[in-house]
């Protein structure tokens, strides 16, 4: 009998997990489900003037316009996938995307993994400090802090110079936060591609000044994975040659780096920032809510099964549940997100979208906490009731369904709502793989406006409002259930 029960539990678990994964694939199809002719191109949406999101919420910049113009010549279909520079590199390396264009310097190390197009721009890196800084030369950086962006050639240059000039390195994921760290005085200098920083300084977005010479001028290129998508690379090269020959390329460069290039100025006040960016913020909030709801639904299905396994009389089922719960609770969420999006996808040769990978990672991780909530709720029910029901002839399954679980659900409700709140907040971690939820939306806006104080306050208030609403719902549902109404 016990063996049959184990088999039933195991088969039920497999069937439900399969159903969940099928539903997930239906709701959020993977990249492979798209048309084969549509190429997915990774880019950094926080890297003006090469790639950024403008005030209308559209991707803009030298990289974006050059790629669009080249593809228009060739007639190929494509879509951009914005993410951080380091995440884009990993996505290309693990074949999650077909190509990458993000001010990416062509270096010997990268050429071992990627194939590059003909160069479409050449620029070096430069150090910059606050206008009132006493740092005038590289020697003055002795004992100071230098802010760098991970994965960039500027990062590599700073690492090579750190020992010689005796400065420490502070690492950031995007340019906006890197500049902000210097302007508020946490770091003493930063290093960035000259054209990028010059654009930000000339348009008045950041208040910095250059020191030293332009270092290690390098060629920028469009990249694909080694020996893959050669037809896409060839098409870009042909398109680039065409737009360079007919003057389109020069017009694009002039529009962003020419003397008359103007950055659209946005209001700096709190209310003005909220009003101008409300549509983008609401889209980010909607993505946050959808991902949270999907994750908690799938996590509840898996977590209930695990919770029942956790309190079962079978040592095998209990052991499997404890193993799963300990693994998930012991792994940092950001590590697990990277593992699912890059590791699992690479092992199984599956291309996840950020939304699919995000929901999958959140569901699997949250299920461990839901399982503990279920276990605690069941064990909080007086054992005498189970014993009484068994004495009346009810078996274990009937006792659970009719006696224990109805009472346990009342006990578990507040904890379920709290877990939903935690899941909602954990969606902010998914920005590292390019999911444009509320936090990532804020980062993208900051990369354009460089007004981080107001924007993070706005994002924080939105989170507080949503979580406060959920808290009141939790209290209301708890009162209704426990009052017996």
DSSP string, 229-261: -HHHHHHHHHHHHHHHHHTHHHHHHHHHHSTT-
CA distances 342 to 88, 308, 335, 349, Å, are 11, 32, 10, 10
Q: Average pLDDT of each block of 10 consecutive residues along the chain (485 residues)?
A: 45 46 43 60 87 83 94 92 85 90 89 94 93 94 94 90 94 86 93 87 85 90 92 95 94 81 56 82 92 93 90 88 92 91 80 86 94 84 70 69 73 83 90 86 82 86 91 78 60
CA distances 192 to 131, 175, 179, 214, Å, are 17, 8, 9, 10
Cα–Cα distance for residue pair 258/122, rounded to 1 Å: 16
Tell me which DSSP letter residue 132 carries: T
Query: Taking the CB of residue 430, how many other CB atoms lie within 10 A of it?
Result: 28
CATH code matching the domain that covers 2-30+269-483, chosen among 2.40.70.10, 3.30.1230.10, 1.10.3720.10, 2.40.50.140: 1.10.3720.10
Which spans in 219-353 are helix H?
Answer: 230-246, 248-257, 270-310, 315-330, 333-338, 345-348
The pair of structure tokens assigned to 268 is 């700096």
Distant-in-sequence contacts of 393-396, Cβ < 8 A, 24+ apart = 396/313
Phi, psi of 262 (to 5 degrees): -125, 135
Cα–Cα distance for residue pair 412/220, rounded to 1 Å: 55
pTM of the model: 0.72
Cα–Cα distance for residue pair 71/78, rounded to 1 Å: 8
Residue 79 has a pLDDT of 92
- Looking at domain 122-220, its CATH architecture is 3-Layer(aba) Sandwich (3.40)
The pair of structure tokens assigned to 59 is 């991707």
Residue 26 has a pLDDT of 38
Phi, psi of 442 (to 5 degrees): -60, -40
Cα–Cα distance for residue pair 331/338, rounded to 1 Å: 11
- Diameter over CA atoms, the chain: 89
- CA 182 to chain CA centroid, Å, is 25
- 115 has which bridge partners? 224
Strand, helix or coil for residue 427: helix
Strand, helix or coil for residue 209: strand
Residue 434 has a pLDDT of 79
CATH code matching the domain that covers 36-118+223-257, chosen among 3.40.50.300, 3.40.190.10, 3.40.50.620, 3.10.129.10: 3.40.190.10
Q: What stretch(es) of the chain map to CATH 3.40.190.10? A: 36-118+223-257, 122-220
Residue 311 has a pLDDT of 83
Non-local CB neighbours of 214 within 8 Å, separated by 6+ positions: 123, 124, 125, 126, 194
Non-local CB neighbours of 387 within 8 Å, separated by 6+ positions: none
Contact 431, 437 (CB under 8 A): yes
Q: What stretch(es) of the chain map to CATH 1.10.3720.10? A: 2-30+269-483
Non-local CB neighbours of 8 within 8 Å, separated by 6+ positions: none
Phi, psi of 382 (to 5 degrees): -55, 125
Non-local CB neighbours of 99 within 8 Å, separated by 6+ positions: 39, 40, 41, 42, 92, 222, 223, 224, 229, 232, 233, 236
């Amino acid at each position: 009998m016990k063996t049959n029960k184990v088999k039933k539990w195991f088969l039920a678990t497999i069937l439900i997990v399969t159903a969940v994964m099928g539903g997930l694939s239906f709701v959020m199809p993977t990249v492979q489900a798209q048309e084969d002719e549509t190429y997915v191109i990774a880019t950094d949406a926080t890297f003006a003037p090469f790639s950024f999101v403008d005030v209308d919420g559209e991707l803009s910049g030298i990289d974006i316009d050059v790629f669009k113009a080249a593809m228009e010549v060739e007639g190929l279909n494509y879509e951009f996938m914005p993410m951080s520079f380091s995440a884009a590199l990993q996505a290309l390396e693990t074949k999650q995307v077909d190509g990458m264009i993000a001010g990416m310097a062509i270096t010997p190390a990268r050429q071992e993994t990627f194939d590059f197009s003909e160069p479409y721009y050449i620029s070096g890196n430069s150090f910059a400090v606050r206008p009132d800084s006493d740092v005038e030369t590289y020697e003055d950086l002795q004992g100071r802090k230098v802010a760098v962006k991970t994965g960039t050639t500027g990062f590599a240059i700073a690492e090579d110079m750190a020992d010689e000039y005796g400065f420490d390195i502070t690492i950031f994921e995007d340019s906006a936060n890197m500049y902000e760290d210097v302007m508020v005085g946490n770091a003493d200098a930063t290093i960035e591609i000259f054209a990028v920083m010059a654009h930000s300084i000339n348009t008045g977005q950041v208040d910095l000044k250059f020191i030293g010479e332009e270092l290690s001028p390098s060629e920028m290129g469009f990249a694909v994975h080694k020996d893959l998508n050669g037809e896409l690379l060839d098409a870009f090269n042909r398109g680039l040659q065409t737009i360079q020959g007919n003057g389109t390329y020069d017009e694009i460069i002039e529009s962003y780096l020419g003397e008359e290039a103007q950055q659209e100025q946005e209001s700096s006040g709190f209310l003005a920032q909220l009003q101008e960016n409300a549509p983008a913020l609401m889209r980010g909030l909607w993505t946050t809510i959808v991902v949270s709801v999907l994750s908690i639904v799938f996590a509840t299905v898996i977590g209930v099964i695990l919770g029942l396994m956790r309190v079962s009389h079978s040592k095998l089922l209990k052991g499997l549940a404890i193993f799963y719960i300990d693994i998930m609770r012991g792994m940092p969420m950001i590590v697990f997100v990277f593992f699912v999006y890059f590791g699992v996808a690479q092992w199984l040769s599956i291309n996840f979208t950020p939304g699919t990978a995000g929901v999958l990672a959140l569901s699997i991780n949250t299920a461990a906490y839901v399982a503990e909530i279920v276990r605690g709720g069941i064990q909080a029910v007086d054992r005498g009731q189970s014993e009484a029901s068994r004495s009346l002839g009810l078996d274990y399954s009937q006792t659970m369904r009719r006696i224990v679980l109805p009472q346990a659900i009342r006990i578990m409700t507040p904890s379920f709502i709290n877990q939903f709140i935690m899941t909602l907040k954990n969606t902010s971690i998914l920005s590292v793989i390019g999911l444009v939820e509320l936090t990532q939306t804020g980062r993208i806006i900051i990369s354009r406006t460089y007004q981080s104080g107001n924007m993070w306050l706005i994002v924080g208030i939105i989170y507080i409002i949503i979580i406060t609403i959920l808290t009141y719902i939790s209290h209301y549902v708890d009162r209704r259930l426990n009052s017996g109404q």
